[in-house]
Chain A
Amino acid sequence: MKRRAKSLLWLLLVGACLFLVVRFVVMPNVVVGDSMSPTLKSWDLCLMQRVYHYQPQRGDIVTFRTADDPPLYFVKRVIALPGETASIEHGVFYIDGKPLSEPYTTINPDWQMERTLVPEGKVFVVGDNRDFEREVYVHGLVATRLVQARLLGHWRWKR
């Protein structure tokens, strides 16, 4: 009886620890959609590190929510940081007028975008999949306070 109670207590402790870790430190996330392909494909399982005051870094893959109620959640890559300008010419991203090297994706020459200033407190995000028209995917300026997590790693299901 005593042994069983002890096992139960251990189980509860492990459960509580897991809950706290998932609630406050890391969270599993399943990608739905191909906007981050080829880096992340639909149904990939991601391990995300929760961030509370996001310090933007170029190249980060982040999860952010919209400010709506109920919110929508997206996974995108941070391309431009606060104070920088971003533009697209024939599919190539230019940050402050300099071309950005993006080995993780292909160039879609149809993509064009006027120079956009990224204000303080915001980042410019975009998906890695450039196969579709630019307007199809959610991209652009997102407030850093809406960024909830940063990608640590991912695992692809066999399909």
Chain B
Amino acid sequence: MKWLMRIVVVALVAFLVWQVWQRVFVTDETRVRRLLSTMVSAVEKGDVFRLSDAMAADYSDDWGTDKSTVIGGVHAFRAQYDAIFIHLSDLTVTVEPNHQKAQAVFIAKIIAKAKGSLTDSEVRADRFRLYFRKDDAGWKLIRAESPELKFD
């Protein structure tokens, strides 16, 4: 019984320390980076629930799609492939001074292995700019843009 009490107390203290750490030391930039990482992992695994959780209800993008269309599109895209790997590079996260909005600019490379294929991989690379908003539940994706590539 005494050991059980000790374990509970240690777990409680660890939880409190973790919470204080998160609130005091984890910056908004880190939270946005984590959200991006969660979204990437959700797309790779086809976990539409986690992806949905990361997006605001009023999400919009350059292609005129809304949240449910994106979720459906990701589900359909993921179903075409055995495996998908998304590599983000050149990531820059900018948080506005009021800490309510943030932007992330990065390059995403998608490497996908088609169903039944052992070696072939398809790759798309694009530059993205994502906009985030902080609400009661944390940071949410509100808009995605993919500026055209410049070759001039």
Chain A interface residues (CB < 8 Å from chain B): 32-35, 42, 64, 66-68, 70, 72, 74, 138, 140-143, 146, 159
Chain B interface residues (CB < 8 Å from chain A): 89-90, 92, 105-107, 109, 111, 119-123, 125-127, 147, 149-152
Q: How far is the CA of A37 from the CA of B108 in the complex (A)?
A: 21
The reply to whether A66 and B119 form a contact with Cβ atoms under 8 Å apart is no
Q: How far is the CA of A17 from the CA of B97 in the complex (A)?
A: 45
Q: Which partner residue on chain A sits nearest B147 by CB separation?
A: A68
- Chain A residues contacting B121 (CB-CB under 8 Å) are 33-34, 42
Please list 25 pairs of residues, one from A and one from B, whose beta carbons are closer than 8 Å in the complex, sorted by A's number: A32-B123, A33-B111, A33-B122, A33-B123, A33-B125, A34-B121, A34-B122, A34-B123, A42-B111, A66-B127, A66-B149, A68-B150, A70-B89, A70-B92, A72-B107, A72-B125, A72-B126, A72-B149, A74-B125, A138-B149, A141-B151, A142-B151, A143-B151, A146-B151, A159-B119
Partner of B150, one of A34, A35, A67: A67
- Chain B residues contacting A143 (CB-CB under 8 Å) are 151-152
Q: Which partner residue on chain B sits nearest A132 by CB separation?
A: B122
Smallest CB separation, B79 vs chain A (Å): 19
Q: How far is the CA of A42 from the CA of B112 in the complex (A)?
A: 12
Q: Which partner residue on chain A sits nearest B151 by CB separation?
A: A142
Q: Which partner residue on chain A sits nearest B122 by CB separation?
A: A34
Q: Which partner residue on chain B sits nearest A35 by CB separation?
A: B123
Q: Which partner residue on chain B sits nearest A145 by CB separation?
A: B152
- Chain A residues contacting B90 (CB-CB under 8 Å) are 70
Smallest CB separation, B152 vs chain A (Å): 5
Q: Which partner residue on chain A sits nearest B118 by CB separation?
A: A159
Smallest CB separation, A71 vs chain B (Å): 8
